Structure 1
Amino acid sequence: MTLQPASGQHQTTDNGSDSRQNLVPPTDRNRIRELENQLTGLLGENERLRTAQQELRAAAAAADAATTAKSELLAHASHEIRSQLQLISGAIDLFRQTRLDETQRHYLDGFQHANELLLCLVNDILDTSCLEAGHLRLESLPFDLAGLVAATGNQLLWQARRKGLELSWQVSPDVPPRLLGDPARVQQVIVNLAGNAIKFTPEGAVTIRVERIPGPRPASSPAMIRFVIEDTGIGIPVDRLGGIFESYDQGPPETPKRFGGTGLGLAIAKGLIEAMDGDITVESSEGRGSRFIVTIPFSLTITGDRQASADGQEKASESAPPLRVLVVEDAEDIRLLIAAFLRGASHQVRSAVNGQEALDMFMAEDFDLVLMDIQMPVMDGYTATRALREWERQRGRTPVPVVALTACAEKSDSLKTIEAGCTSHLSKPIRKDTLLRTVAELARQ
């Protein structure tokens, strides 16, 4: 007798598969297949995401490497170019101390004009790179704004006179005599704006006015200063006003041919102003001139007598006592040039050609100040300064001021000099008045 399975009992088909699958409704089986397909798709997508993530990491690493290479290239190019400009600028300063006839002075003015134009081009390119990369570093130093404006005006005066323009500047009496800020960057803003005004003014005048904006201010920046640079130049067409602060904007095609320049000056000025938490606006009438209005907040320092002389240029070298200065610079021409500047101001000078030689001399002799180049053979300026500071610390000596001489415009390079123990830094090319003013400031501390 053949036994038949009871209803609902388990049975198998001829091929051995489990007949229980027939108990799953078709709609559920379809849903299961959909879920399996979705899971397979998710696993594939996850793999694609993992691959994309690896590619992004590789791209980021390549971008970082490119940025590092760019910074190193800029640092090297900056050092080489600025070093040569240092020699030209210094030679001009020394020639001006000799007896010159009118023709020779005229030739020298031409050399100075070409050198400063070249320096402006180099600075524009380097500053634009720093601003775009976010590497700009601002100082917080006490300075005399009235003296700075006068010195800047005198620096630009010869450019205006070459074009037959009248250049004037005025600082309101209510401007505090001493402010805290970055004097070099403030001066750069004025130079860029006033220099631009001179360039685009065929005839007439350029004026620089500085005043304090009245009203209550926060404790962090109690002095709001307004700078107004006005000219009687060609003006700016209304349809171009919105783009004048863009990098490389030079106006119509004929503008660079007629006036020259890189088109970076206004963009850099705006970037510097915004970095100092300031603001810039422009008013212009085509054919009648332009007015640039800048507002920058500053902190106050202890009020003292103005250090500017009657013409606004600080005669710091006259009040600085003679110092024993160690000049550390591997380039002989620059080393001799800096020594000539210092000896002309009655300072005693000793020289070293690398960090190791400087360290040996520092340990054997007494110095009041060290001027330390950064990029040198045998031992660089960073290493030498750290070793110098450690030697002072071990012997309980008062730190001697060390001024880094750097051709680098990167924020990271400025921070390195501070981390190494430098008191301050000067960027090449180093002007005689800037060098002597820095030495005098350190001598008074």
Structure 2
Amino acid sequence: MKGLKAYIWPAVEDGDHLRAAQLRIIGVIALTVVVCGGLAGALNFVANYERFPPQAWIGLVTPLTLGALPALARSRLSLRTTGLLTVSFLYVVLTGQAASMGGMAYPVVIYLPGLPILAAFLVGPRAGLGFGVLVGASMGGLFLFRDWVPTPADWDINYYLLGWITITLILLTLAASAVCAIFAHQMAAAGAALEEARKRSDAANQAKTAFLTNISHEIRTPMNAMLGMAQALQQDALGPDQRDKLEMMTRSGDALLRLVNEVLDMARIEAGRLEIVPQNFRLTDTVAMLEGLFAAQALEKGLDFSIRLTGDGERVFVGDPVRIGQILANLTANAIKFTQAGHVQVSLHAHAPDDEGQARITMRVADSGIGIAPEDAKGLFRPFAQAGSAEMRAYGGTGLGLAICRQLCELMDGEISLQSTPGQGSTFTASIAVRAAAPDLVMARPEPQQRDLSALQRLRVLAADDSQTNRLVLRALLDSLVGTLCLVENGQEALDLLDAESFDIVLLDSRMPVMDGLSATREIRRREAGSGQPSLPVYALTANVMPEQVAEYEAAGMDGVLAKPISRDALISTLMSHALHVPEDRDDRPARYLAE
């Protein structure tokens, strides 16, 4: 039944409401003709088969063939071509039937006024008017030349009454063709205006996304210097006062980075580009992430902070742990921010999977903070919305976090809700759908962070970045760790250096003058394919980390992406994964060593 409904009444695809309306009109007309015309054809077949067998068979089969009309309208033929062929076929069949049997007295002529309606919606307003005139003239001809039309012997026809019926049908046909032509014209104009508005909206979204991508790149460059140098300073011996100041600077930089990421996520949502990436994960790892992020913050404010995991939490699920963690991080950060005393309690419950392996995860974040009034809670999940009280707005924020949480929950077939009482706290509850992994899947636990970094001393690293600031950050982070660090300004210089010396890993910025990172990577892979050399690890070290950009890096042959601002832990982890494969007995340095 659902299949028949979808066949007759298709859904709107790609926002094209005009085409959907046309296909639905076709579906309704096809269903009407099949049912009503099939019944009339069956009665006609029984009554006239002995004297008019061809006409009886045509009258029976023709209505049924229109059941294929919706499928034909969805075919590769254009809608106009489909409509013109269909209306022309019906005109020939119906007028041929009437001309060979009974004329205007034959009941099949009752379908003729419907042809201009069909033509107006399928072909266009002019076709509707044209078929209206043609059908009206055909009916007039059938009446005027009625003596030429064979009539069944048992028919007793009142030609006076038939004349008035003919005039009525002609007038009805002309009126219907005119009305439907006007309506089809207005519908086409509305569809064209809607399509133009959609194009303008898409163009505006693309321009906004491009702007946000560019501004993100420009913001991340100075942030890379600030956070990168802060991470480098953390390796030095600092006094308590200096370390406190460094910690404040790092925390402020992380807050700014979260703000940039929220704006980019909102842009992806509005452009329909935010994707859920399923992978295996455990909720226990999510709990560890939350504790590492927020336990210290809650302790500083004197809050009772707890995380509780219940249900099937040890099971391996298939979902997007990054986005699940983002939801929890947003809700927990808000709870700590708006709570001055009392508690923040995070609870996660993994429901047992059903017979098909589908499961749900319920996440709840409760606090004893300032609470939210009911009138303010209604629009809280809209972008840039914040609760209306001056006390709430004094805490700052963009109003994007909860909107992003709602969108992420919906993308994962879930929902988010709020229960709050002013002055007594708030409870946010989010529910998402996941899938249980195979029971025999063994998911390795993350290994403890490698403390012995001596293997990096035999590693040769080549990095290309046109920003001197970024090169200084790389030098501050790696110069004392790796055996060789060569820094160049663009992809062409990196290729020239690769011609002269050998390296274990290459880091390339995506945007550089002379030659960018993608072009340099393609050239490296082309040379390797021509010479049969093993693949050299190449990573993008870039501030452009939108999903489509990451896909472009992978298509160019890069092995991975390191996002700016640079995370020292992520950078060292990547280098260590390659340093462990470098022979221990290699201690010679490249003859050419670039230092700035």
Matches within 5 A, 1:187-198: 187-198=325-336
1:427 aligns with 2:563: yes
* Root mean square deviation, CA, Å: 4.0
- From the two aligned structures, give the one with the greater helix fraction: 2
In structure 2, the CA distance between the partners of 1:65 and 1:290, relative to structure 1 (3 Å rule), is closer
1:117 aligns with 2:251: no
Name 1:414's counterpart in structure 2. 550
SS of 2:364's equivalent in the other structure is: strand
Is the contact between residue 463 and residue 487 of structure 2 (CA under 8 Å) also seen in structure 1?
Answer: yes
| Deviation of 1:81 (Å) | 0.4
Among all aligned residue pairs of Structure 1 and Structure 2, give the percentage whose two residues are the same amino acid: 34
Is the contact between residue 401 and residue 423 of structure 1 (CA under 8 Å) also seen in structure 2?
Answer: yes
Correspondence for 1:351 among 444, 465, 487: 487
Name 2:382's counterpart in structure 1. 246
SS of 2:394's equivalent in the other structure is: helix
1:328 aligns with 2:467: no
In structure 2, the CA distance between the partners of 1:280 and 1:86, relative to structure 1 (3 Å rule), is same
Q: Distance in 2 between matches of 1:347 and 1:143?
A: 36
Name 2:151's counterpart in structure 1. none
1:291 aligns with 2:427: yes
Gaps of 5+ in 1: 1-22, 310-314
Correspondence for 2:523 among 387, 398, 402: 387
Q: Distance in 1 between matches of 2:355 and 2:467?
A: 48
Q: Distance in 2 between matches of 1:324 and 1:417?
A: 22
Name 1:15's counterpart in structure 2. none
Larger RCO (CA within 8 A; separation ≥ 6): 1
Correspondence for 2:446 among 307, 315, 318: 307
Name 1:86's counterpart in structure 2. 224
| Deviation of 1:158 (Å) | 4.1
TM-score by length of 1: 0.77
Q: Distance in 1 between matches of 2:278 and 2:545?
A: 17
Q: Distance in 1 between matches of 2:349 and 2:576?
A: 28
Gaps of 5+ in 2: 1-143, 145-162, 582-596
Tell me whether 281-290 or 349-358 shows the greater mean CA deviation. Answer: 281-290
Q: State the structure with more CA Rg.
A: 2
Q: Distance in 1 between matches of 2:220 and 2:551?
A: 20
Q: Distance in 2 between matches of 1:177 and 1:94?
A: 38
For these two proteins, the number of residue pairs brought into alignment is 418
Q: Distance in 1 between matches of 2:395 and 2:558?
A: 41
TM-score by length of 2: 0.59
Give the partner amino acid of 1:306.
Answer: R
Give the partner amino acid of 1:132.
Answer: E
1:268-324 deviation digits (Å, cap 9, x = unpaired):
122223334444344444433333334442564852552264xxxxx2565895343
Q: Distance in 1 between matches of 2:541 and 2:282?
A: 23
1:353-398 deviation digits (Å, cap 9, x = unpaired):
2222223334544444333221211122222222222323333444
Q: Distance in 2 between matches of 1:225 and 1:208?
A: 13
| Deviation of 1:83 (Å) | 1.3
SS of 2:561's equivalent in the other structure is: strand
Q: Distance in 1 between matches of 2:436 and 2:411?
A: 15
SS of 1:261's equivalent in the other structure is: coil
Give the partner amino acid of 1:349.
Answer: L
In structure 2, the CA distance between the partners of 1:224 and 1:373, relative to structure 1 (3 Å rule), is farther
In structure 2, the CA distance between the partners of 1:428 and 1:186, relative to structure 1 (3 Å rule), is farther
Matches within 5 A, 1:127-138: 127-138=265-276
In structure 2, the CA distance between the partners of 1:408 and 1:135, relative to structure 1 (3 Å rule), is farther
1:393-419 deviation digits (Å, cap 9, x = unpaired):
333444334332332353322322222
Give the partner amino acid of 1:257.
Answer: R
In structure 2, the CA distance between the partners of 1:346 and 1:444, relative to structure 1 (3 Å rule), is closer
In structure 2, the CA distance between the partners of 1:216 and 1:284, relative to structure 1 (3 Å rule), is same
1:216 aligns with 2:350: no
Q: Distance in 2 between matches of 1:325 and 1:410?
A: 26
Is the contact between residue 177 and residue 303 of structure 1 (CA under 8 Å) also seen in structure 2?
Answer: no
Tell me whether 131-140 or 154-163 shows the greater mean CA deviation. Answer: 154-163
SS of 1:252's equivalent in the other structure is: coil
Is the contact between residue 136 and residue 410 of structure 1 (CA under 8 Å) also seen in structure 2?
Answer: no
Tell me whether 48-57 or 105-114 shows the greater mean CA deviation. Answer: 48-57
Give the partner amino acid of 1:381.
Answer: G
Matches within 5 A, 1:258-277: 258-277=394-413
SS of 2:204's equivalent in the other structure is: helix
Is the contact between residue 507 and residue 541 of structure 2 (CA under 8 Å) also seen in structure 1?
Answer: yes
In structure 2, the CA distance between the partners of 1:182 and 1:338, relative to structure 1 (3 Å rule), is farther
In structure 2, the CA distance between the partners of 1:284 and 1:443, relative to structure 1 (3 Å rule), is farther
In structure 2, the CA distance between the partners of 1:144 and 1:80, relative to structure 1 (3 Å rule), is farther
Tell me whether 387-396 or 243-252 shows the greater mean CA deviation. Answer: 387-396
Is the contact between residue 235 and residue 287 of structure 1 (CA under 8 Å) also seen in structure 2?
Answer: yes
Give the partner amino acid of 1:303.
Answer: V
